[in-house]
Every structure is written in C-alpha cells, then in structure tokens.
C-alpha cells in the first residue's frame, strides 16, 4: 500500500485507468457513442418487432389448403377481399372499433373530473396519495380484475343486487359488460396524462378567463379543453389501442360477443393467413387513429 502511495497521489490529480480512457475516447467520438447505445435496441426493433409485423403482413396474402389447413404460399388478396365482403367480418371490425371508441369516450368522461379533482381541487399533500390510489388497480393482475368484473356482472351478482332497489338489473354478460370492464381496466391510462396536464395548467389562465367575463363553461371550452387536448389525445391512444387489441375480457364477460381478437384467436389454428389478415386490421386502424391524433399535437406530449 505504501509503495503505491505516490501513484495514488498522482491519480488524485488526474485519475487514470482503462475505463476512464475508454470513457474519454467515447467522449471524443459522439457517433461511436450513439452506435453503442442504440445497436441493441435498434436490432430488437428492426428484426423482432418490424420483422414480425412484416411477416404478419406477408402471410396475410397466402392461403390455406381447405382439407389439411396447411398454409399454401400462393399470393392472393382473397383474405382481404373476404374481410371487406363477408358481413360477419365487417360487423366484427365495426363492432371492435365501436367498442374501442366507446371505451375511449367513457374513459375521457370519467377521467376528466377525476383528474381535475386530483390535480387542482385536492389539497396538495393528498395529491400523491390520490395518484397512487388511481394507479393501484394497475398492480393487480389483469385476469383477476376481469374475473372480479365477471363476478360483479354475473346473474345475482353485485350489479344486480345494487340495481334491484331501482327495479333494474345488471347488464349481464355481453357488449355493454365488455365496454364497462375495458373502461375500468384502461381508466388509469387516461387519468394520468390528464392529471399531469391539469397540474401544469397555470392558475392565472383560469383567473384571467373569469376576469375577462367568461363563465366556467366558457373557460372550460376556450381555455382548459384546448390546453389539455394533447394530453387527452395521448391518453386516448392508450385506451383506444388497448381496447382494440383486447380479446380476453370479451371472452370472460362478453357472452357471445366477438371482437377482432377473438376471430384472430380462433383462426390461428385453422386459417393462419386469414388470422394474419384480420390482425392487420387493428394495425391499420390504429395507424389511421394516430394520424388523426397527430393533428392535435398529442404525439409530442406522449
């Protein structure tokens, strides 16, 4: 130890070492630094993610042998033709998009007052607690939550019991139950961006609007909504795409309801190319949705 003491002292002045030298070299070569940083994730993205997407798209143009269900690698647009012309497929696609939109609208309607409360009304020291409370459902397993809803909605379940005094009964299993459950599942994804946006909304703007003669409704339409719209859109990207891709919830609480995901799931054994063609539908719909959303500037706030 004592022998290295002088060396240690000089190291104190300007530390040396292979790691340090490498760091220095990297510092002088920003391109190399970037390459090292991004190679692995880019490979992942290009090969596994985009690769599998393109395989999906390509296989959608193949067909199957109707006896053996084996994939026949012959190019044809039959599957896409069937998607458009077969009434069942059309109905299921429209229904799936409808469910996704309904869930998104419901989430927005429920999340806005909630986020307004947590972000602007609640006492500051309660805020973190409330945000955690909103997030806690995300810690529970997806299946547990959906089965909980199955119990709630089942015949003679909680929903029926609570509505009986009003002479009503629960929605039972079906399309409304699916929308309800999906809304519950994805609500936090809508509340969080809205909460953040409303937190960042300066008090002064609301005061200014009222000061200039605007009633609360006008202030909401002309000041609050335009300013949180990007966050609302960002949240809707989550709720919309998660709903569009879901096929488990609908199996558990949807009764006989079929969504795109169910068709893909049932076709995957019998008619892989058809499943692939069906699988491209949500991708296309979500791309269209993102293009529409981009106009609100939401993507820059994601």
Partner 1 sequence: MEGMAVRLQGLRKTFSETVAVAGVDLEIRDGEFFSMLGPSGSGKTTVLRLIAGFETPTAGRIELAGQEVTGLAPFERDVHTVFQDYALFPHMTVEQNVAYALKVRKVPRAERLARAREALAGVRLDGYGSRRPAQLSGGQRQRVALARALVGRPRVLLLDEPLGALDLKLREQMQLELKALQREVGITFVFVTHDQEEALTMSDRVAVFHQGRLEQVGAPAEIYERPATAFVASFVGTSNLLRGETARRVLGTGGAHSVRPEKIRVLDESACVDEPGVVSAAGTVAEVVYRGDATRFLVDLDAGGRLTALQQNLETSAEDVAAYRGARVRLAWHRRHTVPIPEESAPRPGAADTTGTADAPDATNTSAPAESPGTAGRPDRPDPAKSPGTAQVPDAR
Least spacing, CB of residue 121 vs partner 1, in Å: 16
Q: Is residue 218 near partner 1 by the rule CB under 8 A?
A: yes
- Are the CB atoms for 102 and 179 separated by under 8 Å? yes
Stretch that binds partner 1, among 21-29, 123-131, 197-205, 245-253 (CB under 8 A): 197-205
Q: Is residue 199 near partner 1 by the rule CB under 8 A?
A: no
Which of helix, strand or coil describes residue 141?
A: coil
Q: Is residue 12 near partner 1 by the rule CB under 8 A?
A: no
Which of helix, strand or coil describes residue 73?
A: coil
Q: Is residue 207 near partner 1 by the rule CB under 8 A?
A: yes
Q: Lay out the site mask for partner 1 across 223-242 (x = CB under 8 A, - = otherwise).
A: x--xx---------------
Residues β-bridged to residue 263: none
Q: Is residue 222 near partner 1 by the rule CB under 8 A?
A: yes
Q: Are strands 71-72 and 63-64 parallel, antiparallel or unpaired?
A: antiparallel
Within 10 angstroms of residue 181's Cβ, the number of other Cβ atoms is: 24
- Whose Cβ is closer to partner 1: residue 84's or residue 212's? 212
- Whose Cβ is closer to partner 1: residue 69's or residue 200's? 200
Q: 222: which 2 tokens?
A: 């002309």
- Whose Cβ is closer to partner 1: residue 16's or residue 222's? 222
Q: Which of 205, 287, 288, 302 binds partner 1 (CB under 8 A)?
A: 205
Q: Is residue 213 near partner 1 by the rule CB under 8 A?
A: yes
Of the candidates 236, 113, 95, 93, the residue with the CA atom closest to the CA atom of residue 178? 95
Q: Is residue 124 near partner 1 by the rule CB under 8 A?
A: no
Q: Is residue 210 near partner 1 by the rule CB under 8 A?
A: yes
Q: Give dist(CA 176, CA 93) in Å, integer.
A: 17
Stretch that binds partner 1, among 17-25, 142-150, 215-223, 258-266 (CB under 8 A): 215-223
Q: Is residue 41 near partner 1 by the rule CB under 8 A?
A: no
- Kindly state the DSSP code that residue 122 receives in the 8-state scheme: S
Least spacing, CB of residue 126 vs partner 1, in Å: 16
Q: Is residue 214 near partner 1 by the rule CB under 8 A?
A: yes
Q: Kindly give the residue spans of alpha helices, DSSP state H, lying in the chain.
A: 5-13, 18-28, 30-43, 51-59, 78-85, 87-116, 127-135, 142-153, 158-163, 175-200, 203-211, 216-219, 225-245, 248-253, 260-270, 272-294
Contacts with partner 1 by CB under 8 A: the residue count is: 17
User: Under 8 Å CB-to-CB from 251, ≥6 apart: which residues?
Assistant: 262
- Whose Cβ is closer to partner 1: residue 210's or residue 252's? 210
Q: Which residues lie near partner 1 (CB under 8 A)? A: 202, 204-205, 207-215, 218, 222-223, 226-227
């Amino acid at each position: 130890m004592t022998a290295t003491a002088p060396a240690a002292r000089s190291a104190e002045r300007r530390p040396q070492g292979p790691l340090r030298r490498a760091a220095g070299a990297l510092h002088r070569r920003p391109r190399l630094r970037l390459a090292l940083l991004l190679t692995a994730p880019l490979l992942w993205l290009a090969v596994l993610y985009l690769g599998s997407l393109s395989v999906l798209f390509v296989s959608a143009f193949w067909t199957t042998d109707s006896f053996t269900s084996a994939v026949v690698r012959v190019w044809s647009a039959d599957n896409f033709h069937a998607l458009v012309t077969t009434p069942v497929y059309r109905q299921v696609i429209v229904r799936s998009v409808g469910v996704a939109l309904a869930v998104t609208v419901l989430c927005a309607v429920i999340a806005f007052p909630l986020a307004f409360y947590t972000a602007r009304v609640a006492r500051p020291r309660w805020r973190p607690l409330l945000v955690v409370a909103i997030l806690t459902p995300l810690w529970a397993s997806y299946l547990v939550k959906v089965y909980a809803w199955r119990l709630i909605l089942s015949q003679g379940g909680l929903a029926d019991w609570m509505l009986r005094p009003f002479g009503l009964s629960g929605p039972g299993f079906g399309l409304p139950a699916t929308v309800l459950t999906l809304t519950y599942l994805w609500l936090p994804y809508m509340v969080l961006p809205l909460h953040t946006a409303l937190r960042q909304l300066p008090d002064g703007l609301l005061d200014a609007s009222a000061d200039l003669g605007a009633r609360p409704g006008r202030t909401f339409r002309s000041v609050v909504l335009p300013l949180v719209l990007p966050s609302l859109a960002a949240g809707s990207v989550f709720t919309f795409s998660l709903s569009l891709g879901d096929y488990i919830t609908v199996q558990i609480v949807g009764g006989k309801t079929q969504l795109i995901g169910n068709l893909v799931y049932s076709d995957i054994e019998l008619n892989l190319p058809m499943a692939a063609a069906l699988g491209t539908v949500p991708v296309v719909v979500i791309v269209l949705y993102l293009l529409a959303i981009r106009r609100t500037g939401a993507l820059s706030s994601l």
